[in-house]
Each structure stands twice: as structure tokens, then as C-alpha cells.
């Protein structure tokens, strides 16, 4: 189903509001995990519509991307053009850019051209400082708000979440971020923001809004910018902040406190007090987290903030205690009236995750026991592909594993390879090759031409391998003499499959039969079915000299002998009855048909005489 249109009434935002529970955003660049996390937050926050209106994927193509909205699937539009997306979704006023540090400025400039996009989030870090300064100046002229760069974003509890902010849905619910509290929070650090959300949830009625401005030297919006928004917002009753060593931004907060621009209780701590333990200047992760003088140290800023009237803990260890005590005072004087927390909705667990954790089981639609590519290395049976080549088991070995689920001895795998070489091609006049040639000459592609030939395989062409093995095995197992077998088939009016040839005879033997027969006699421990078939041949050729054991019959009968040596008789018969031996003809003949296809492709038009069934043999 497609994402439904907004039914909640779109309210006009105040100047201090960036988001509400109708806010929708564009995601710039395809970020499946982040998008799904936003939609999961929407669902547990009981939003009526998804916060992601569309995905902008400039290197992809227009289309739809499938996501979950609670238990249901929705389709989110994907556009190459941000301008086109804006025309289609006029209610969107937020852009969350996951572009790289190289292309992020371009995405911001593009957003500046679209008047409806008021808030722009830049996730990338490492944007050149000069470029960022230019974007900040332009954003102020256009009255736009930039969050970032080098940020995880932010969250308005129960209303709107940016990307991966606050982590998993379990953490969001644990921190009560699915419904609004009374605390406004701002920080440079995204990681510390997540920790602060947890502290706030355990010591107050919860977060109202939290923003991580980003750790680069020149953030698009400052701590002070967001503190002043919280000061103006009547829904925010107290403010919590985390600054850090380096820069002079915290002194703007000091000035605002002294001038009573910030009147709400402010709990703030500037991290990096341990810098004094080092003998040289130290940069703490962020580009801006490095003191360029005494005034930029964390100790100096904490001291100035405390003097100006902020609630400043002695260390980060008692940060939570200061937040708790400040909150309790506001509850006591009636500024905050705690509300009971509503029960949160449950996000259904993804099927793949549930399977991975062993929480559910589902019968497979298909079961494969011959190969497995789920791990780091492909397996044929129980043999890794590297071992297949290390042991040099050859094509016959691979076929024995994939068809018969075990690696047969070398004599057997070599026999399989001999069979494939023998059946690869019987010339262009046989029906399968002829069809392949005709299809090729008609302009069909390789696969179509190959299939047209393979479809001719049957009892009169190639398919006699299975039939011969089945007929001779049955007669031998029932104890029929060769003559009794011949008589039985004559009474039934059925030709003995594997016996007879149009051209070859007892006086003009088929060398393919000779090759297969001699290999079996030399390498097999015993050949009871082959011996039985040769006795039948003596009787049939006494009546007509071309009623010889042909190549299909010889292959099928010898293969049955081999299978009975390597498997219990019942298992060998199962393989014969399920048509495995005809597979040898299909596999080998595919090689020949492919050759005929390529041969015809090489030939120039007009080198065939007519009619079509008059074959012209050409030797290069």
C-alpha cells in the first residue's frame, strides 16, 4: 500500500518550532535503515502519517521503495530531483541530507532554492570550513535553520525524529521519547545526546526536544540558537545542555543568563575538564573540541556559567542529580504537572531478525541438500569450493556431488566425464541439433536456440539412456534370459530401448560404444548388466546386423552398473527411475547445441542450400 495522505490538521509553526507531529521530510540519498527507524518512531508515537514523504536519490531513478509502518507495508516515493519532489509534496519543510561531505554542500544549495524547505539537516562530517561558513551566511539571509554538519540530528518526543537519532526503537521507548515531556536539550555531541536522553528520562517527566548541533568547527546552528528557542517555547519548562572544550559559544549563554534572556532553569555541563591533565593541547574527537586559550577550557566555561546563574554540576558524575533536583523544584512549585505515561505501541519484530535470534521458525518452501552459499565460502555437499579445486575432483566429481550427493571414486568420476565427451554432439542432422540450427538461422538468441534443441530429447533421441537402463535392469533382476527378454518385448510390441542404429552395425561398429564399453570392462569391478546386454546384442544382431547395442543403451547400462557398485541397489534404481541418466545427455548435448548455435552465427547468410533439411557440411 502507498503511504496515505496527511489527515492530521497541518498547523502553522511558531518561530521557535522546527517540528511537530505533522512534519514531513525528504531523505537525501537512499538510507534504508535510517528511514525505517524514523517510520518505526512515527508508529510508536501514534502519528497518523509517516514522517518520510519521499526519498531523493539523485544517482538512481524514480520509483517506489517499500517500508514498514507498524505491521503494514507502505510505499515511499523515490525521486531523482529534489525540485520535482517538492512540487509533488508541498507540505514537506525538512531535508535530511545523508550526502557525503563532498556532495552535501550541493544538496544544501539545492534545498536553498526551494522555499518550503525551512530546516536542513547535514549528517556528513568533514565539510570544508570555508564552504560551511558560506552556507551559514546564506542560510541566515534566507531564514533557514541548519542542524549539523557532523550530527546525528535530533528528536521532538512523540512527534518527529531525524534519521538514526536515539538509536533503536527499544531504546526510544525505554527513554520515553515516544511521548512529549518538559525538557529541552541541546548538545554538540550526538553520542552524549543519546546518553543525556536516558538521564533525562530517568530523572524528569521526559524530553520535549533534543538537538545535537554537530561537532565540526562551524555548526549551522549554535547551542545558543536552540536554547533561545526553548526559552520561547511554553511547552519547555526546563533546559538541559552539554557544551564542550574549545570555542567561545558557551560565553554567549553566559551573556544571555546575565541579561535575563534565559529565565528558565538551565542545567549545563561543559565536557573536557580532564584536558588539564595533559601537558599538551588535546583535541577530543570533534573538530571544535580543542581549547585555543584559557578561556576556551572546560573549567573556565563551567565557572563562568555557574557564576551567571546556570545549574552547573561539579562533574559529569552528578549531572543526573542536578537535573533531578531542578525538575523536582519545578514540580513542587507547580510549573510542571507530571502526567502518566501512556502505554506504547509495539513494533512487530522483523522476520529476518526474529529468525536470526531463533524466536520463530517457518517451514522452508524448498530444501536444498546439495550446495550452500550462505556462509563465507560456497559448499558443494560438505566440500568447500576451495577444496574442490585443491583436490582437483574435476567436472565428474562436481557432478557426482551435486547429482548423487557424494564424491565417487576417481574411476567413476572419470567415467562421467567420458560420457559427457561422448554425447556432446552427434552431428547436425539429428533432430535436436537441427532445431538449434533452424532457431539460430531464424535470429533467435542463444538460450532460445539451445532450448529448442533440448526439447527434442525423448525416447527416440537421447532419452533412451534412462529407458535402456530401466528395461535391462528390470529383465536382469527378474532373472529373464536374454531370449526371454527379447520375446517379452516382442509380445508387448515394444522396441528394446538402447538397441538398434540406422547407420552403424556389427560390421561397422560405433566407436563411441567401444570407448564406453572398454572403459567399463577395464575399470569397473564387475559389469553384470553390460554382460547381459551384450548377450542380448548377440541375439538381436543374428537377425539384423544393425540391431546393435547403441551409444544410449551402452551409457545407460554401464551407468546402472556403476551406480549399483557405489550405492545400494534400491538407491541406484531410484536415480535411474527419476530420470537422472537422461540428465547426462541433456548436459552433454547442451555443449554440442551451443557449438551449432555459435557455428551458425559465424557463417555468412546464404551458405545453406535449400531445402532446409539438406545439410551442407563445411570444414574450415
Which residues are part of the catalytic machinery?
A: 286
- The answer to whether 40 touches 32, Cβ cutoff 8 Å, is no
Distance CA 598, CA 450 (A): 11
CA atoms of 204 and 493, how far apart (whole Å)? 94
Helical axes 410-423 vs 580-602, angle rounded to 10°: 40
With a CB cutoff of 8 Å and minimum separation 6, the contacts of 278 are none
- Do residues 120 and 144 lie in contact, with contact meaning Cβ atoms separated by under 8 Å? yes
| Residue 448 zone, left/alpha/beta (φ > 0; ψ -120 to 50; rest) | alpha
Q: Computed over its alpha carbons, how large is the radius of gyration of the chain? A: 40
146 burial via Cβ count (<10 Å: 0-12, 13-18, 19+): buried
Measuring CA to CA, which residue among 553, 540, 542, 547 is closest to residue 512?
Answer: 553
Query: How far is the C-alpha of 326 from the C-alpha of 330, rounded, in Å?
Result: 7
**Vertex 282, ends 280 and 284: CA angle to 5°?**
165
Residue 206, SS3? coil
Cβ 157 vs Cβ 207: under 8 Å: yes
Enclosing H/E stretch for 483? helix 482-492
173 to each of 42, 43, 176, 179, 354, how far by Cα in Å? 12, 12, 5, 9, 19
What are the cell numbers at 229? 528557542
Amino acid at each position: 500500500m502507498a503511504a496515505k495522505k496527511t489527515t492530521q490538521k497541518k498547523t502553522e509553526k511558531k518561530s521557535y518550532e522546527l517540528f511537530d507531529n505533522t512534519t514531513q521530510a525528504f531523505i537525501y540519498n537512499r538510507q534504508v535503515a535510517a528511514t525505517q527507524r524514523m517510520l518505526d518512531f512515527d508508529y510508536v508515537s501514534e502519528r497518523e502519517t509517516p514522517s518520510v514523504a519521499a526519498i531523493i536519490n539523485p544517482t538512481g531513478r524514480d520509483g517506489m521503495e517499500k517500508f514498514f509502518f507498524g505491521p503494514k507495508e507502505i510505499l515511499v516515493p523515490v525521486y531523482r530531483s529534489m525540485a520535482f519532489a517538492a512540487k509533488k509534496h508541498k507540505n514537506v519543510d525538512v531535508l535530511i541530507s545523508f550526502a557525503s561531505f563532498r556532495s552535501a554542500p550541493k544538496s544544501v544549495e539545492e534545498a536553498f532554492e526551494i522555499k518550503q524547505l525551512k530546516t536542513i539537516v547535514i549528517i556528513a562530517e568533514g565539510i570544508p570550513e570555508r564552504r560551511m561558513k558560506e552556507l551559514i551566511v546564506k542560510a541566515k539571509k534566507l531564514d533557514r535553520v541548519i542542524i549539523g554538519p557532523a550530527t546525528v540530528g535530533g528528536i521532538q518526543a512523540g512527534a518527529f525524529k531525524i534519521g538514526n537519532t536515539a538509536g533503536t526503537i527499544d531504546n526510544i521507548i525505554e527513554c520515553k521519547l515516544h511521548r512529549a515531556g518538559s525538557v529541552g536539550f541541546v548538545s554538540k555531541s550526538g553520542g552524549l545526546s543519546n546518553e543525556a536522553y536516558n538521564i533525562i528520562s530517568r530523572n524528569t517527566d521526559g524530553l520535549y526536544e533534543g538537538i545535537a548541533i554537530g561537532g565540526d568547527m562551524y555548526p549551522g546552528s549554535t547551542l545558543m540558537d536552540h536554547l533561545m528557542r526553548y526559552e520561547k517555547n511554553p511547552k519547555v519548562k526546563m533546559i538541559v545542555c552539554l557544551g564542550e572544550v574549545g570555542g567561545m559559544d558557551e560565553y554567549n549563554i553566559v551573556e544571555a543568563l546575565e541579561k535575563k534572556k534565559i529565565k528558565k532553569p538551565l542545567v549545563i555541563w561543559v565536557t573536557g575538564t580532564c584536558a588539564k591533565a595533559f601537558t599538551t593541547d588535546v583535541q577530543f574527537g570533534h573538530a571544535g573540541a580543542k581549547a585555543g586559550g584559557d578561556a576556551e577550557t572546560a573549567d573556565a566555561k563551567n565557572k563562568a556559567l555557574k557564576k551567571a546563574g546556570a545549574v552547573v554540576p561539579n562533574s559529569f558524575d552528578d549531572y543526573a542529580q542536578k537535573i533531578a533536583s531542578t525538575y523536582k523544584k519545578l514540580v513542587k512549585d507547580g510549573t510542571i504537572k507530571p502526567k502518566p505515561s501512556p502505554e506504547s505501541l509495539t513494533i512487530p519484530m522483523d522476520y529476518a531478525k526474529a529468525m536470526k535470534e531463533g524466536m520463530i521458525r517457518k517451514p522452508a518452501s524448498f530444501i536444498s541438500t546439495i550446495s550452500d552459499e550462505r556462509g563465507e565460502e560456497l559448499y558443494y555437499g560438505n566440500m568447500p569450493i576451495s577444496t574442490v579445486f585443491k583436490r582437483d575432483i574435476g567436472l565428474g566429481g562436481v557432478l557426482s556431488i551435486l547429482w548423487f550427493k557424494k564424491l565417487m571414486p576417481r574411476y567413476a568420476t572419470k567415467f562421467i566425464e567420458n560420457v559427457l565427451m561422448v554425447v556432446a554432439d552427434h552431428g547436425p542432422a539429428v533432430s535436436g541439433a537441427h532445431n538449434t540450427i533452424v532457431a539460430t538461422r531464424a535470429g533467435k538468441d542463444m538460450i532460445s536456440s539451445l532450448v529448442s534443441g533440448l526439447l527434442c530429447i525423448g525416447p527416440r533421441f537421447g532419452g533412451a539412456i534412462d529407458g535402456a537402463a530401466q528395461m535391462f535392469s528390470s529383465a536382469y533382476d527378474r532373472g529373464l534370459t536374454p531370449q526371454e527378454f527379447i520375446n517379452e518385448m516382442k509380445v508387448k510390441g515394444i522396441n528394446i530401448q538402447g538397441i538398434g542404429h540406422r547407420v552403424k552395425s556389427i560390421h561397422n561398429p560405433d566407436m563411441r560404444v567401444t570407448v564406453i564399453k572398454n572403459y567399463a570392462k577395464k575399470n569397473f569391478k564387475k559389469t553384470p548388466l553390460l554382460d547381459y546386454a551384450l548377450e542380448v546384442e548377440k541375439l538381436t544382431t543374428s537377425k539384423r546386423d544393425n540391431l546393435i547395442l547403441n551409444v544410449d543403451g551402452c551409457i545407460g547400462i554401464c551407468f546402472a552398473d556403476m551406480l549399483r557398485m557405489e550405492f545400494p541397489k534400491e538407491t541406484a534404481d531410484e536415480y535411474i527411475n527419476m530420470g537422472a541418466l537422461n540428465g547426462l545427455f541433456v548436459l552433454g548435448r547442451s555443449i554440442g547445441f551451443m557449438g551449432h548455435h555459435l557455428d551458425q552465427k559465424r557463417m555468412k547468410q546464404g551458405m545453406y542450400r535449400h531445402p532446409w533439411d539438406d545439410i551442407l557440411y563445411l570444414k574450415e
